[in-house]
Amino acid sequence: MSKVVVITGASGGIGAALARQLGAKGHSLVLAARREAELKKVAAESGKGALAVVADVTRRADVVRLRDEALKAFGHIDVWVNNAGRGITRNVLELTDEDVDTIVAVNVKSALYGMQAIVPHFKERGGGQLINVSSFLGRIPLASVRSVYSAAKAALNSLTANLRMELRAQPGIKISLVMPGVVSTDFAANALGAVPGGWSGAANYRSQTADEVATLIAGLLENPVAELYTQGPQQKEMAVRYLQDPVAFEESMAAPPRNR
C-alpha cells in the first residue's frame, strides 16, 4: 500500500538511496535537505510527484514548514524519517563550543523538532511511523575521534526510547531507531575536521553501501521493529557485551592484538 513518507537529509547518502527505493515502490515522497540542486535531482529520480522542500532542519520553523508543505500536498503523513546528520573527526579534548553546538543541532535538535512536529499529527490520526536514523557509535564507543557525534547519537537513542515509552498507550504509532555501522557514503568526507581518507579505523569494520542500509530501513514500513542494527546479530551481540560490562569491553578494545 502506498504511503506518504517524509525524509530529511535526502540530498545524498542513505536518505537519497531510501528516497529512490521508496519512490520505485510507488510511495509518495516529501524530501528535505539544504542543498537545492542535489535535492531536486534526487526527487526527479524518486518517482513521479516526489516533492522537494529545501529546508535547514536545525531550524524548528523549517521543520514545521516541511510538515505543513507535506500535509498541503498529500493531506496526511504516514511515515517520517529523521535522517539528517553530520559527523566530526575530533577527539574529546580538542572539541570547541562551535563543534558541540553544530553536531548537537544537526544530530539531536533536528530530530527532536521532527518528533515534536509529526507526533501530534500521528496522534490525531491514531497511527503513523517515526524512524530515527542514529548510529552504532551512539551505543558503543568504538571511535574516540567521533567524540561528540557519538554523544549526540547516544542522546538521540535515549530520546527515541523515551518517546516510545511515552506513547505506550498509543500502539498505532510505531517508533523505530536505526543504528548503521560503517557506511560507504560521503559522510566522512563532509564531517567537521575531516581528514583525507576519512577515519582510519573504518578499515577494521565491514562496510555497507547506502543502498544496503536503505533497503533495511524500507523494510521497516512493512515490518516495524523498535531497534534495527543494520549489520545484524554481530552488532547486537557486541552491544549486549558492552552494556553488560562497559569496563571489560573498553579494556578489550584497548588491548594490543595477540601474536599468532
Active site positions, annotated: 149
Write the CB contacts of 28 (distance below 8 Å, at least 6 apart in sequence): 2, 3, 4, 5, 49, 50, 74
CA distance 31 to 52: 5
Strand order in the sheet with 79-82: 51-54, 28-33, 4-8, 79-82, 128-133, 173-179, 227-229
259: buried, middle or exposed (CB in 10 Å: 19+, 13-18, 0-12)? exposed
CA distance 223 to 244: 28
